[in-house]
Amino acid sequence: MPSATSTPGERISRVFSERSESGGAALVTYLCAGFPDVASSVAHALACVAAGADVLEIGVPFSDPTADGAAIARASQFAIAGGSGLESALEVARRVRAASEVPIVLFGYYNPIFVRGDAATARAAADAGVDALLVVDLPPEEDSPLRDAAHALGLGLVPLVAPTSTEARLAGLAARAPKPPFVYSVSVAGVTGSAHADLGEASARAAHVRARIGAPCVVGFGIADAADATKAAAHADGVVVGTALVRIVDDAVREGLSIEAQAERVRTFVHDLAVAVHAPRSPQNSAPARTV
Catalytic residue positions, numbered: 57, 68
Judged on CB neighbours under 10 Å (0-12, 13-18, 19+), 272 is middle
Q: How far apart are CA 66 and CA 44, in angstroms?
A: 24
* CA–CA distances in Å: residue 247 to residues 28, 111, 252: 16, 25, 8
Q: Confirm if 222 and 197 have CB atoms less than 8 A apart.
A: yes
Q: Is the separation of the CB atoms in 210 and 250 below 8 Å?
A: no
Please state the φ and ψ torsions of residue 205, each to the nearest 5 degrees: -65, -35
- End-to-end C-alpha distance for the chain, whole angstroms: 42
Q: Is the dihedral of CA 260, 100, 56, 73 positive or negative?
A: positive
DSSP strand E in 237-284: where? 238-241
Judging by DSSP bridges, how do beta strands 183-186 and 217-220 pair with one another?
parallel
Give the whole-angstrom CA distance, residue 235 versus residue 61.
31
